[in-house]
A = this chain, B = another copy of it.
Amino acid sequence: MEAGAAVSVIKDGDTVLVGGFGMAGMPVELIDALIGHGAGDLTIVSNNAGNGDTGLAALLAAGRVRKVVCSFPRQADSWVFDRLYRAGRIELEVVPQGNLAERLRAAGAGIGAFFTPTGAGTPLADGKESRVIDGREYILEYPIRGDVALIRAHVADRLGNLVYRKTARNFGPVMATAAAVTIAQVARIVEAGELDPEVIVTPAIYVDRLVPVEVPA
């Protein structure tokens, strides 16, 4: 499927999960297609809030994002987010990285909420329910569900089974489980049966649309 057609499922107001840790695993072509598609008022859930002027930063610069949920917005080259945030033109929810990953997993796994030790006793626990279990303090965190997930994997088979490459795996597998519609850009699509069933990381049940994107050699 072509990237533009794939992302046309995204509607104004949607929550979009965007894979990647820095550029590793970032679905750049899908984000570009989303910019072209034009949906706005989006909530973006991703580890960072854009770098430089491309990808997520370009989506933010285009004024399409109402809110960012991430662990680490502030980086050397996050000037687009910084400007919008300081101008009061974008909302921010900062979530510790492991709680972000676990909240996404909870959404995919049907867990209603969970007690995590991360963040207990810190300002990020303000207003959250807390509880001491076996002498340790935990805070209660809720799932983060996406309407759509945009992820990048390495190879897919035609059914949608995915394998990843090295640390580009990062948020892809959990985001794929946490969204109503998961769109994966991949370097290559092979026939069903060509991927060893033992090594598939994301089973096809979690993947709705595949977009082949050639990788420059």
Taking beta carbons and an 8 Å cutoff, which residues of A are in contact with B?
102, 106, 109-117, 131, 133-134, 136, 138, 142, 163-166, 196-199
Closest chain B residue to A154 by CB distance?
A: B198
Q: Which residues of the other chain, B, contact A164 by a CB distance below 8 angstroms?
A: 198
Apart from the given pairs A112-B115, A114-B114, A133-B142, 14 other A-B contacts in the complex at a CB distance below 8 Å: A102-B109, A102-B111, A106-B114, A110-B116, A111-B114, A111-B116, A112-B116, A112-B117, A112-B134, A113-B133, A114-B115, A163-B198, A165-B198, A166-B197
A151 CB to nearest B CB, Å: 16
User: Can you report 19 A-B residue pairs in the complex whose CB atoms are below 8 A from each other?
Assistant: A102-B109, A102-B111, A111-B116, A112-B114, A112-B115, A112-B116, A112-B117, A112-B131, A112-B134, A112-B138, A113-B114, A113-B131, A114-B114, A114-B115, A163-B198, A164-B198, A165-B198, A166-B197, A199-B199
Number of copies: 2
Instruction: Report, nearest first, the 6 A-B pairs whose CB atoms are least far apart.
Output: A112-B115, A112-B138, A112-B133, A114-B114, A199-B199, A113-B115
Contact A198 B198 (CB under 8 A): no
Task: Given the known inter-chain contacts A198-B163, A198-B199, please indicate yes or no for A110 contacting B114, CB distance below 8 A.
Answer: no
C-alpha spacing A136/B110, complex, angstroms? 11
Closest chain B residue to A115 by CB distance?
A: B112
Contact A136 B112 (CB under 8 A): yes
C-alpha spacing A165/B199, complex, angstroms? 11
